[in-house]
Amino acid sequence: MEYSIKSGDPSTQRTACLILGVFARRQLTPLAQQVDKASKGHLSRLLKRGDMDGNTGQQLMIYEVPGVSAERILLVGLGKASELNMKHYASAISGAVKTLNESHPIEAICGLCDVEIEENNLYQVIRETVLQAEETLYAYTETKSEKKKPSRPLKRLSLFIHDRRQLKAARKALGHAQAIASGVAFTKDLSNLPGNICTPSYLASQARALGRNNEKLRVQILEEKQMEKLGMGALLSVSRGSRQPAKLIIMEYKGGKSGAKPIVLVGKGLTFDAGGISIKPSAAMDEMKYDMCGGASVFGTLKACMDMELPINLIGVVPSSENLPDGDANKPGDIVTSMSGQTIEVLNTDAEGRLILCDALTYSERFEPAAVIDIATLTGACIVALGNQASGLMANNDKLATEVLAAGEHAGDRAWQLPLWDGYQDQLKSNFADMANIGGKGAGTITAACFLSRYTKKFKWAHLDIAGTAWRSGANKGATGRPVPLLTQFLLQRCGQSD
């Protein structure tokens, strides 16, 4: 959809539809009051009839309002003014966009953006508006033969702000929002693709395509031969059970000063995880096509940063493989040697994410990173701990952890920190190798991070376990695009461009 920022007199805006807010007990927002005045009280008279009291979820479309240039007005309930939060606001935006997309207007002006929402400023509200609108309009169609579309979809949305002095801030927010939304959509598209289309080679070709469209992006794909030379025995062991060759995708975006240390994002790109010989139960196994969501979030974040032309050096590293049972697959008890030289006893072949990530993390040392963040659908235990509200965060540096948490909070894409205390490391003891790839009963999310921590000693590192946040199950099954909002916010903060 196209977006713009508008200011001026709301009642004289020529538009097919003006969206205005109503709080509970029929209380018009300040902007709606202005329009009410121009209409000589038409809106308040209508509300008195009792068709709408402004509760959340309510909507009322009204036509031919006197003294107003808009062809119609969509009144949207915002609930109690004192209780308005981002969640209520987002659902009001979502409802309005849905209604308009399914009705006649193909263009509208949104007069909800200047409401006051807790501690959020205009920049945040505008970002949320666009992200929520795009979330609502997102439809996966790639593998459907009939691409169902509404007959008159919403094509243009102008965001109205009353204070002209805020135009500049609003335009900046809009630019950021559109870039982030396009990154989120790219991440969703890649994630939703099935495993027979989205293979490691497919992801590699997507990376090359990104590189062709941007001269600041250098893309390099390491093949299995090259990984062998580097000694990536852990990563390659996972791929042995698959007929699809593994790929190590490296995308270097040089937006910052040449010498400035880069941020490295490492994303798990397991395009299908059947568990290997330690095979998973069959229920919901289809959802293991989403085991590359971490990698997809690296793609989406890079795309967003390139769209924003962020002055930062950013490197995406995506180790990509399948994990399948096969005569040549990893077997429980096998011992593999990682690129770092540390040996690993593979007690459970389903704990494969850490095996591909550890070599990608060791590889990342060569970039002398300012910080490394890995993103992975790593443990089912993370869903047990945090459900689908927050991603799990673990880090070897408290300042970095605080930064990541703040970014998530600011972007409405939250993470929650779990401890990485030394005591947990004991759970990885092996009688036959330097470590086991599983930590036994208890604290599965933490012991997975403990495993990774043994490969991240040379840099500041944070780990995001997105097992519970990367996609939704059930009737609304689909990728969420998380944690692209968190990651882009983190990067905006790093270049002092947030707000």
291 binds ligand BES (CB under 6 A): yes
Within residues 180-209, the interface with ligand BES by CB under 6 A covers: none
Instruction: Please give the C-alpha separations between residue 385 and each of 5, 395, 457, in angstroms, as whole numbers.
Output: 41, 17, 26
3-class secondary-structure state, position 129: helix
With CA atoms as reference, report the closest residue to 489 among 410, 401, 372: 410
Binding to ligand BES by CB under 6 A, coded x per residue (else -) over 376-405, reads -xxxxx------------------------
| DSSP secondary structure code for residue 340 in this structure | T
Cα-Cα-Cα-Cα dihedral sign, residues 436, 441, 444, 450: negative
What minimum distance in Å lies between the beta carbon of 249 and Mn ion? 20
Residue 80: active-site member: no
Helix (H) or strand (E) holding 382: helix 380-386
The residues, ordered by sequence, that sit 6+ positions from 476 with a Cβ below 8 Å of its Cβ are: none
What minimum distance in Å lies between the beta carbon of 355 and ligand BES? 9
C-alpha 446/C-alpha 378 separation (Å) is 10
Cβ proximity to Zn ion: between 291 and 465 the closer is: 291
Residue 280: active-site member: yes
- Which residues are registered as beta bridge partners of 393? 417, 464
Catalytic residue (one of 354, 414, 454, 460): 354
379 binds, among ligand BES, Zn ion, Mn ion, none (CB under 5 to 8 A by kind): ligand BES
Residues forming the site for Zn ion (CB under 5 A)? 270, 273, 291, 353
Side chain identity, residue 22:
V
**Are 355 and 269 in contact, with CB atoms under 8 Å apart?**
no
483 binds ligand BES (CB under 6 A): no
With CA atoms as reference, report the closest residue to 158 among 21, 3, 1: 3
Give the chain's largest Cα–Cα span: 83
Binding to Mn ion by CB under 5 A, coded x per residue (else -) over 302-341, reads ----------------------------------------
Cβ proximity to Zn ion: between 357 and 492 the closer is: 357
Instruction: By CB under 6 A, name the one of 322, 350, 403, 413 that touches ligand BES.
Output: 350
Instruction: By CB under 5 A, name the one of 114, 134, 224, 350 that touches Mn ion.
Output: 350
C-alpha 48/C-alpha 37 separation (Å) is 15
What minimum distance in Å lies between the beta carbon of 351 and Zn ion? 8
Binding to Mn ion by CB under 5 A, coded x per residue (else -) over 231-270, reads ----------------------------------------
Residues forming contacts to ligand BES in the complex (CB under 6 A) are 273, 291, 348, 350-353, 377-381, 438, 444, 467
The residues assigned a catalytic role are: 280, 354
